[in-house]
Structure 1
Amino acid sequence: MTNKIKKVVVLGGGTAGWMSASLIKKLMGKSVDVELVESEAIASVGVGEATIPPIRLFNSVLGINEAEFLRETKATIKLGIKFENWKNTEESYFHTFGAAGKSSPFCQFHHYLKRAQDAGLKDNLWDYDLNYLCATQGKFAQIKSKDPIIDIPYAFHFDAGLYAEFLRKFSEKIGVKRTEGMVENVEQCKKTGNVNSLVLKSGEVIKGDLFIDCSGFRGLLIQQTLNTGYEDWGHWLPCDRAVAVPSKRFDETVPYTRSIAHAGGWQWRIPLQHRNGNGLVYSSKHYSDEQAKALLLANIESEPLAEPRIIKFTTGRRRKQWHKNVIAIGLSSGFLEPLESTSIHLIQSAIVRLIHMFPQKGISTAQVDEYNRQSKVEYEQIRDFIILHYHVNQRDDSQLWRDLREMDIPESLAEKIKLFKESGKIFREQNDLFNEGSWLQVMLGQGIEPEDYHPMANDMPLEQLNSMLAKIKAIKHEPLTKLPSHDEYLTNFCRL
């Protein structure tokens, strides 16, 4: 006798629910039935509009046409994030998806650049980053070349509500059953504690073998039913609220997200085809809700299209993201503020992880433990990267930034900062979402200057090194003359 999974029930729609239902049905539709239960009476949080490049792989696996996707979700291109006032109140820097320069197999590019800078070269890292050059000049197009030096990795800004609707239509076409209704009761097996079924207010009973909890911050199954507990990271990431408001689009859409630091938090600005997405993530100890609303409305620079909406959260993660026969995906699994646009990616990676570990003959403890181990590591690695932005600052204009600079940080992050400061070396942890180039850009952007560089950077005469750097720089700049503006690209590509 086996406990084979024959039916997956997804509780909750929105981005998390429909991403989960669509991918499971697409890849495993011959093995399992998928039913999604949602209520139109429950509003989605739906402010996660910026993504990172792996979203393109997700859409590709589903077989989604990119032009259609851009049209239906009112999407724009994202080449990176501009961080303003994070190091201090006078400077800004970019974290792009690109790779600056060209690294050798055993020595990263920034070591060569550091040696040349020590000898008098005035260039900075971003002079060799094609994503940065395109972002600041408002240009974009897909470059079809086998040479990775002129690759332009990109992601999207899109309307999260429209993306959920887009995926709903896609999912229903491939066989996902949608049931409208609000859960009134959760029935559990008295012996195992597993969830057997959802009882809706209408009286309808939805049975399943595996349940995916996409019920948002409520965590209806993973927390309210199974009580798995929550690991609070507020001592490292003290912002605990956000206020969000859409506003009229600008005449020109830039191909990057803006992250603007303020005295008690930071503001996002996300350009879409039909509007701007705006928000302010803040600490309730430093701003009242009314202060936050006023600050955001004073800094959006275009007419608001709705009333500002307050969202309360606790940064951290569910202690067990898979418990018994319930897997938490999306906000029910934890929350990391959207500083590096990781919310939608965490949905994607959780679904992919589940599919990799999908049980054949029933749920095993070993599979659940490994799933939870990987989830924990992923959350902690992203947590450290976000803490880095806050902790390494030179601001002295408010208590929040002083406290963040002086706080104790996770040992894993402290070691990484120390290594880079002393030697310029960065090593990517296994499966870390952010590669060496990402850590490099943020550490340099926040003002950490390495004291040394790799000895291999001394292998060529300085004149030869400068010649090599000039050649790489020219290669990076050359495509700019041929690329259309970001808006021209969207107009032409979306016609396809």
Structure 2
Amino acid sequence: MSEAAIREIVIVGGGTAGWMAAAGIARLAGALPGVSITLVESDAIGTVGVGEATIPQITLFNTLLGIDEAEFVRATRATYKLGIEFVDWTRIGHRYVHPFGLYGIDMAGVEFHHHWLRGVALGDAAPLDAYSLAVVGGLDGRFAHPRPDQPNSPLAKLAYAFQFDAGLYAGFLRTRAEGWGVVRREGRITQVHRDGGSGHVASVELADGTVIAGDLFVDCSGFRGLLIEETMGAGFEDWTDWLPCDRAWAVPCELGGDRQPLTRSTARPAGWQWRIPLQHRIGNGYVYSSAHVSDDEAAALLLAHLDGRPIADPKPLRFTAGHRRRAWVGNVVALGLAGGFLEPLESTSIHLVQSGIARLMALFPDRGFDPLLADRFNAETEREYRDIRDFLVLHYKATERDDSPFWDYCRTLPPPPGLAEKLAMFAANGRIHREHNELFTETSWLSVMIGQGVMPRRHHPIADTLPPAELLHRLGHIRSVVADTARAMPRQDDYLRQIGCDLGA
């Protein structure tokens, strides 16, 4: 092993981010000779632990770790997720779904939605949702795995994610990480010691005097940013002007209502409420702007809109939308809430941890800590946060709601430049340009823009090459195939029982 090689990796903080980092790094770097990984956490310090909904990239992370899906679903009390249902966002009484997977099928060499737009112009009133298996099946409580071996079936392009108990997921990953050699140290960090020459973090000291030295430190200490901010002074990019929600209440409740494989987001007068059905309970929360509603009013609204009896007291959270200006400083890399926060409207929090781990491993340093590696890490991290920010702002900006000061603020807010360009291009001619392989696909942008009332004035000219009768026939056939395939999918609850889940227990 090279003398310059990293030998000691210290992860500060547990929870979902810490144990994802521990498991991911141990899986990829733990096999290197002479490398040790230590995770420091204190049972006396709570974790946020409300990030229960994910996006399809979580399946890639679990596969990387060699996780058996059925075991994972049982252990974390997970349900499946085919998309996010948005209620009252466009206007009160309106709803749509942002699905995982595609709409319809491309025809004549152009994207399906251009043909759908032409069909609308010809008088076909079927909504875009009718062409998505994830939407039709999800709303009916059904789930099936993708079938790439059936290229002519809507199942071929289906995608899925999970909804799970974040605390159970952290414990599940801890078991694996410790099995791969990660050492957990219990204790509260009271001092951080820095090298006098380089300014790098040399060690952390616990309340009992134990000193834990390291070469590379991964900060998973939550909003506090113990290493990245308090020690290394990374700075913070505040996006409150674009994303004014700065607080949340979170509370679990007993099972009630439906258990569709969908996360639900319901717009409220000063923010929005999440609903995440698990096997044994429902996760709920109200994300809101403290400038537009009091904490007590927000808590009361949340408790008034539960599907079952609350099984804990509401938990308050305070945050600022944005990210560290530098997520990697010296020998410290921040992941999770230590690196930034974007509200969980599109379930991106766990993904940002996952992508940060992948980025760190791709740019893994030696003890020389070449600043070019940190610069690249920071640039890519900032770009990912910015892309997600723009997608989140779209939900607030593209709305007809004018029933509260909060929605007046959001509706009239000048959008970030990247979002303004996407909105202008789509509204003019239905085109969606995906930048630099950004996280959200053309399908995602399409679903939210159409769902929130942004209807293009024109469609792709090639969509006009199909005779009107043939086009309308094809559209009807696609809807029929989607509906028939959805009816053939098993009920999610039946599938969960088949893999050994004890529902409701």
Please state which band the TM-score falls in when normalised by the shorter chain: over 0.9
Indicate yes or no: 2:30 matched with 1:34: no
Indicate yes or no: 2:89 matched with 1:77: no
Q: 1:201 maps to what in 2?
A: 207
Q: 1:417 maps to what in 2?
A: 423
Question: Which letter does structure 1 place at the counterpart of 2:494?
Answer: E
Change (3 A) 1:325 1:352: same
Q: C-alpha separation between the residues in 1 aligned to 2:437 and 2:327? A: 18
Gaps of 5+ in 1: none
The 5 A counterparts of 1:152-167 are 152-167=158-173
Change (3 A) 1:251 1:91: closer
- Aligned-residue offset at 1:174: 1.2
Question: Which letter does structure 2 place at the counterpart of 1:130?
Answer: L
SS in 1 for 2:185: strand
2:251–2:310 contact (8 Å) kept in structure 1: yes
Gaps of 5+ in 2: none
Cα deviations by residue, 1:26-60 (Å, 9 ceiling, x for unpaired): 11112232111110110000010000001011011
- Aligned-residue offset at 1:143: 4.2
The alignment yields a C-alpha RMSD, in angstroms, of 1.4
Cα deviations by residue, 1:317-348 (Å, 9 ceiling, x for unpaired): 00000010000000000000000000000000
- Aligned-residue offset at 1:150: 2.2
Higher alpha-carbon deviation: 464-473 or 238-247: 464-473
- Aligned-residue offset at 1:250: 2.1
Indicate yes or no: 2:46 matched with 1:43: yes
Q: 2:8 maps to what in 1?
A: 7
2:147–2:155 contact (8 Å) kept in structure 1: no
- Aligned-residue offset at 1:443: 0.4
Q: 1:150 maps to what in 2?
A: 155
Q: 1:354 maps to what in 2?
A: 360
Cα deviations by residue, 1:403-425 (Å, 9 ceiling, x for unpaired): 11111211111010000000000
Question: Which letter does structure 2 place at the counterpart of 1:6?
Answer: R
The 5 A counterparts of 1:304-383 are 304-360=310-366, 362-383=368-389
1:268–1:279 contact (8 Å) kept in structure 2: yes
Higher alpha-carbon deviation: 297-306 or 249-258: 249-258
The 5 A counterparts of 1:33-432 are 33-104=36-107, 106-146=109-149, 147=151, 149-151=154-156, 152-250=158-256, 252-360=258-366, 362-432=368-438
Change (3 A) 1:105 1:188: farther
Q: C-alpha separation between the residues in 2 aligned to 1:237 and 1:376? A: 16
Cα deviations by residue, 1:370-389 (Å, 9 ceiling, x for unpaired): 10000000000000000000
1:423–1:453 contact (8 Å) kept in structure 2: yes
2:237–2:322 contact (8 Å) kept in structure 1: yes
Q: C-alpha separation between the residues in 2 aligned to 1:404 and 1:251? A: 31
SS in 1 for 2:125: coil
Cα deviations by residue, 1:272-311 (Å, 9 ceiling, x for unpaired): 1111100000011111111011000000121000111110
Q: C-alpha separation between the residues in 2 aligned to 1:280 and 1:495? A: 29
Higher alpha-carbon deviation: 357-366 or 89-98: 357-366
4+ residue runs of structure 1 moved beyond 4 angstroms? none
1:150–1:475 contact (8 Å) kept in structure 2: no
Change (3 A) 1:450 1:417: same
Question: Which letter does structure 1 place at the counterpart of 2:439?
Answer: L
Cα deviations by residue, 1:107-150 (Å, 9 ceiling, x for unpaired): 11000111111111121211110000111111112243421632
Indicate yes or no: 2:453 matched with 1:450: no
TM-score, normalized by length of structure 1? Answer: 0.98
Question: Which letter does structure 1 place at the counterpart of 2:52?
Answer: E
Q: C-alpha separation between the residues in 1 aligned to 2:342 and 2:325? A: 14
Higher alpha-carbon deviation: 104-113 or 135-144: 104-113
- Aligned-residue offset at 1:470: 2.6
Percentage identity across paired residues of the two chains: 49
SS in 1 for 2:463: helix
Q: C-alpha separation between the residues in 1 aligned to 2:370 and 2:402? A: 52
- Aligned-residue offset at 1:469: 2.1
- Aligned-residue offset at 1:437: 0.5
Q: C-alpha separation between the residues in 2 aligned to 1:251 and 1:402? A: 32
TM-score, normalized by length of structure 2? Answer: 0.96
SS in 2 for 1:311: strand
Question: Which letter does structure 1 place at the counterpart of 2:74?
Answer: R
SS in 2 for 1:452: coil
Cα deviations by residue, 1:431-471 (Å, 9 ceiling, x for unpaired): 21100000001001111110000011012211222232233
- Aligned-residue offset at 1:361: 6.0
Q: C-alpha separation between the residues in 2 aligned to 1:406 and 1:424? A: 22
1:2–1:362 contact (8 Å) kept in structure 2: no
Change (3 A) 1:111 1:287: same
Question: Which letter does structure 2 place at the counterpart of 1:311?
Answer: L
Q: 2:26 maps to what in 1?
A: 25
- Aligned-residue offset at 1:315: 0.6
- Aligned-residue offset at 1:494: 3.1
2:336–2:349 contact (8 Å) kept in structure 1: yes
Q: C-alpha separation between the residues in 2 aligned to 1:431 and 1:17? A: 27
Q: C-alpha separation between the residues in 2 aligned to 1:117 and 1:311? A: 44
